[in-house]
Amino acid sequence: MAAIVPPNPIVLVFQRYLYSTYHSRLKHGTAYALNIAHVPNGINGTDMRIATWNVNSVRQRLDHLLAWLQERSPDIVCLQEIKCVDEAFPREPIEALGYNVVTHGQKTFNGVALLSKYRFDETTPRLGGDPEDLHARFLEGVVSYPNGSLRIACLYLPNGNPPETEKYPYKIKWMERLLEYSKERMKGERPLVLAGDFNVIPANGDVYNPAAWAGDALFLPKTRERYRALLNLGLTDAIRAVSDQPGQYTFWDYQAGAWPKNNGIRIDHLLLSPQASDRLLDAGIDRHVRGWEKASDHVPVWIDLDLN
């Protein structure tokens, strides 16, 4: 169970100091790893903030990640496309902000990570159903809080393009494996959160120009049907639970001026089991992060859950 203690002003000041001096320490070759107790948002076990973000290389986007962690203060974060092996993940500055870190890395491509202010009771680095699939796209964790526990799966689903190649059947098979995983996990009473880059545009309102994406693997009818199959299990799309407005985008390509034109798509999702969706307080998209210099092409998506 996560240790929840009153905030220590000295610790909080020291954490801010570590964050501000991290880069100067790196220049002098100084590494550090501290195990500082951090206070989750739910000091009295009343709420939990969970976020997902495809950072598109954690080492290139480390400044952005650290700044956003302090700005949004999530309790649990799912990262995708960390694009590094486990040993190369920049753990120290993240741990200095009070996070436990678990990674499932891969050189150059893919890679996922879980950050949590709560200690992990257990973690699982692979999705079942295909022992020969070695791509680092899945990482599951269980955390406990004063009133119970929660299971979260960090996901980076295959892109599937070009759809006429073997990449699309791999995408669909991966989604079917995720469907079986979800069916099994939802048999229990523990709240379940699926969070990550699904590489799925669920509906016309989730893309700036549906016709332009008609032949893309992210928007093909079979892709959307597999996504709906997840929802039909009883999972809730958190963003759509709080807003039915179109234009709730999470990704803008680097090409063709997509960001200034707001030519975006929504492909990063948090899906909640009934036990989790019953606790949903709010959900949002931090689109302003896309405007930061040398930003990821994705932005963070988050939810707040009531833990009572």
Binding residues for Mg(2+), by number, are: 54, 81, 197, 199, 297-298
What is the distance between the alpha carbons of residues 76 and 79, in angstroms, rounded to a whole number? 10
DSSP 147: T
The three-class DSSP label of residue 18 is: helix
Residue 156 appears among annotated catalytic residues: yes
DSSP per-residue letters across 202-245: -SGGGBS-GGGGTTSTTT-HHHHHHHHHHHHTT-EEHHHHH---
What is the distance between the alpha carbons of residues 90 and 108, in angstroms, rounded to a whole number? 15
Binding residue numbers:
54, 81, 197, 199, 297-298
Q: Which residue of the set 99, 118, 145, 156 is catalytic?
A: 156
Residue 298 appears among annotated catalytic residues: yes
Encode burial over 125-149: b for 16+ CB neighbours within 10 A, e otherwise. Answer: bbbeeeeebebbbbbbbebebeebe
What is the distance between the alpha carbons of residues 167 and 152, in angstroms, rounded to a whole number? 26
**The pair of three-digit structure tokens given for residue 253, joined into one six-digit string:** 């390509």
Residue 86 appears among annotated catalytic residues: no
Q: Where are the beta strands (DSSP E) in the chain?
A: 47-54, 76-80, 100-104, 112-116, 120-124, 138-145, 148-156, 192-197, 236-237, 251-252, 264-265, 268-272, 280-285, 301-306
**Considering only CA atoms, which of 303, 246, 257 is closest in space to residue 280?**
303
Q: Which residue of the set 38, 64, 104, 298 is catalytic?
A: 298
**Considering only CA atoms, which of 49, 37, 29 is closest in space to residue 7?**
37
Q: Which residue in this structure is represented by tokens 């939810």?
A: 303
Task: Decide if 181 contacts 189 (C-beta within 8 A).
Answer: no
Q: Which residue of the set 75, 197, 206, 268 is catalytic?
A: 197
Active site residues: 156, 197, 298
